[in-house]
Structure 1
Amino acid sequence: MTYRLIALFFLAVFYFIYFAKMLLQRQKGIVTDQIAKSKVHDRGFYIEAVMKLATIAAPITEVISIAYGRSMFTIMFRVIGMHLAFLGDLVFLMAVWTMKDSWRAGVAKTDTGKRDLITAGIYKYSRNPAFLGFDLVYLGILLMFGNPLLCVVTAWAILMLHLQILQEEKFLEEVYGEDYRTYKDKVSRYAGLGKLTRPLEVAGSDDADSTARHMSKAAIAFSKICLYIYFILGVWSVLYFFTCLAYGGGPKLSWVWIWILIAAFSFARVGMIKARLQGREKIKIPAALKWIYRLVFALCLGIFIVTEVRIIGAMTAKPQENLDYIIVLGAGLRGTEPSNPFKARIEKAAEYLNENEGTQAVASGGQGRHEAISEAEAAKRRLSDLYGIDESRIILEDQSADTEQNLKFSLEIIGDADASVGIVTNGFHELRAMSIAREVGYKNVYSVPARTLFPVGIHYCVREFFGMMEFYVKYKL
């Protein structure tokens, strides 16, 4: 129900903006809706007519899909869909706000004298932000409530909007001539700062201009690509921060503020790259420092990627069959109720025990300050009561307070470092748990990964990188 309400809210906001703008224009005597109103039934007329049908069919199909409630996509796609729909509303609002009285729905060949060529505000970064808003909302709802019919209708609507854009561009070039062609060279059709190899408009003194003017086309293209990557990363980091707050338990979620830091860094880099492309850098950084930064950044990025690949590898590993023991690592309780990550671990342990009847389980985890029972006891109860696992197969280790103690104390209970042991924890945590296990004495340890809960799972995987760095400092240095 929550996703339905969110999707309906985004649709309602979008169409409220659309029709409210039309009403305000009409009160000023401006006929805004000029889609397929031409008396000449040429190619443009039929494009507008079919586009009108598509943009009517799209929201109807979206509302039906929302009412149906099911989606062929996973929860992570639903979250991305919410991000896109939100951005679509925001971009569309900025577009119609910036256009003011020049906004029309349709080519509107009959009232060119009342319209200005808008190149300010959001139009500095997109020639067609209103159409981009439509596309983002359509794609967002599709990802939230995707089904085959909605896929077809969404593709149809986006295609017709694109054909309409091409038609409007020809019209604008006829009306505004060189002014529009100059603007067209500077700004991309949907989003961006013109062609990759085209330098940005240079501002400032001749000295400030020299850097930008002497950049090669390859350097300009690379800088623009980096600018776009940083911008997308910055926007997504802000949206994902709020997603983590909503899905991960609020601001108490550890390391959640890292997304704000990533966003701040990304937007700072956007500003720096844009300033360089425009030749208006206020601070000239020595070439040596630039190369040091690039090398350090490349090294850190490489270490991050390699570590994340290993984390994902352990997260997706297929468990070894017929292990002697599995250790179920605790993950917090609310009273006597396991947290959602802990429930996923217990569920995976039950699945493994049912498939491997000769394996015993060590439920590991002490009692925290706000927990009514030990985590080990909670795991045992859930395994036996909910999943029907015989209590004789479950051994309690109820004194540990962290992962290292979980594994140390469990090994003392097992009493055999050569025993084959699987570690049951959420997938993102498997690599570190197995690494610690080897350090504390396990000789045959394997990954038995439980589900990593999304959408917060991305945050957990990123956070785990720093956990692995802590592991290397503690055990390897």
Structure 2
Amino acid sequence: MDQEQLRYSVAFIVILLMAWMIGFGVMLRLRGVETAAIAEGRGNVRQRLLIAGAAILDMYLVLRAPFSYLDQLVLARSAPQPLLSLFILVLGGLIILISQSGMGHSWRVGVPDKKNHVDELVVTGMHRISRNPVYLGIMIFLIGAMTAAPGPFTLFAVFISYIGLTMIISQEERYLEERFGDQYRDYKNRVRRWI
């Protein structure tokens, strides 16, 4: 696989993943689930910034396929192992998709406030392995992006995402402990935060 094929493959994977995530959110909204908890209050500024950063990274990963000169602008080098990069991206994407769909009606973008409660604590499926499998999938996906377009931009994306997701996880843990009490504390004692 050459670098051009890799760029187009990565763009295709990103487009599919974004289409799934948007479609899943729309499907839940049509079923009456208010998924956009990120729009509630001022407490979700970190989450909004992280989503904006993800949108910029996603645009880069898609647009670098037809506009390869973007790699020069962000000082990205050629991928040393294109097939490994694709494997990591696909693995991260699959973890995201399986985890998100396993959350069903409990999935939200952002930490809900009191009027948008999550009704059920999800402890099955991928959540038996990780308390945050969607975020784990995102981090694996980002590592795949970094190996597909190695450079300071993608390295920075991995670093900032880890810090941002860790802060969001802390917010979610406080919410879930308040919402589900001992049930969440028991779950937290059984299953690790990442893996």
The alignment's TM-score, normalised by the length of structure 2, stands at 0.85
Superposition deviation, residue 181 in structure 1: 1.0
Matching residue of 1:123: 127
CA–CA distance in structure 2, aligned partners of residues 55 and 168 of structure 1: 19
Deviation, structure 1 residue 107: 0.7
Matched to 2:92, the amino acid is G
Secondary structure at 1:189's aligned position in 2?
coil
Q: Is the 8 A contact 1:58 1:154 kept in 2?
A: no
Which residue is 1:149 aligned to? 153
- Aligned letter for 2:86? M
CA shift for structure 1 position 65: 4.2
Residue 31 of structure 1 corresponds to which residue in structure 2? 34
Counterpart residue number, 1:45:
44
- 1:72 alignment counterpart: 77
Query: What is the SS of the residue equivalent to 2:150?
Result: coil
Tell me, yes or no, if the aligned pair for 1:57 and 1:153 is still in contact at 8 Å.
no
Q: Secondary structure at the match of 1:29?
A: coil
Contact 1:54–1:156 (8 Å) recurs in 2? no
- Does 1:3 pair with 2:2? no
Equivalent position to 1:21, from 21, 24, 29? 24
- Change in Cα spacing, 1:73 to 1:170, as seen in structure 2 (3 Å) is farther
Match of 2:136 among 132, 139, 153: 132
Distance 2:160 2:64 in 1: 16
Deviation >4 Å, runs of 4+: none
In the TM superposition, residue 13 of structure 1 has moved relative to its aligned partner by 2.1
With 151-160 and 168-177 compared, the bigger mean Cα shift is at: 151-160
User: 1:74, CA displacement in angstroms?
Assistant: 4.7
* Alpha-carbon shift at residue 117 of structure 1 (Å): 0.2
Partner of 1:174: 178
Paired residues for 1:83-94 under 5 Å: 83-94=87-98
- In the alignment, is the contact (CA less than 8 A) between 1:127 and 1:187 conserved in 2? yes
Q: Is the 8 A contact 1:65 1:147 kept in 2?
A: no
C-alpha distance in structure 2 between counterparts of 1:28 and 1:65, whole Å: 36
**Structure 2 CA distance for partners of 1:31 and 1:15, relative to 1, 3 Å:** same
Q: Which has the larger radius of gyration?
A: 1
Contact 1:62–1:150 (Cα < 8 Å) also in 2:
no
TM-score (norm 1): 0.37
Q: What is the alpha-carbon distance in structure 2 between the residues aligned to residue 80 and residue 139 of structure 1?
A: 11
Measure the CA separation in 2 of the matches of 1:123 and 1:12.
25
Equivalent residues of 1:13, 1:89 under 8 A apart: no
Provide the secondary structure at the position in 2 that maps to 1:75: coil
Question: Which structure features the higher share of helix residues?
Answer: 2
Q: Which amino acid aligns with 1:116?
A: E
Q: Is the 1:127–1:189 Cα contact (8 Å) retained in structure 2?
A: yes
Identity across the alignment (%): 23
SS at match of 1:68: coil
Q: 2 CA distance for matches of 1:136 and 1:123?
A: 16
Matches within 5 A, 1:339-354: none
